[in-house]
Amino acid sequence: MSLCRTCSLAIVLAVLCLSVTSVAQSSSANTASQALYCVRSKNWLQPPIKSTRKLKIGYVRDVKSYPGEEHWVLAVYQSGSSGQAFDLVRKKFGYVTEFNLVNNGTFSIMKGNLTFEKPPLGGLATQDQLESDIQKAMKGRTLIVDTLTLRRRVSAVACKTVLDR
């Protein structure tokens, strides 16, 4: 194989790898936006974040903590060190994606310590898990979403809470 063909093959492989990473990142950002649509459309956000025009969120997908469940934890920032957290379980039913809110809490971070102003339900183990996921979300990817885009009905997304029957 000539040097030119080897270089061309290497470039093609590099482009393919970058494309796969880009698609995975945009897919997770799209899923996080769908989860945020549920949070906003069901009025789960509390003031003052509720009236904010642009929402900044950190998010993490957790499939390890609860075997058989796909959790999406959103940290919706009020400031750089405080906000509201939402733990949603994602399920797929054909073309429909359902997000079920299973926990939430209002948090702040002072001197590196995360505390809940309004603690989540479920006891200390659940609180510790949500705290860990919030910290991962804050260190991971962030999105800034205009709330006007969240007002449009997303037909393939269903939103529920554990209290819905």
Using pLDDT thresholds of 50, 70 and 90, give the confidence band for residue 50.
confident
More confident residue, 153 or 60: 60
The reported pLDDT for the residue numbered 67 is: 92
For the question of whether the overall pTM of this predicted structure is more than 0.75, the answer is yes
On the question of pLDDT at 106 being above 70, the answer is yes
Per-residue b or e along 45-80, where b marks 16 or more CB atoms closer than 10 Å to that residue's CB: beeebeeeeebbbbbbbbeeeeeeeebbbbbbbbee
User: Among the residues of 42-162, which ranges form H helices?
Assistant: 123-139, 147-150
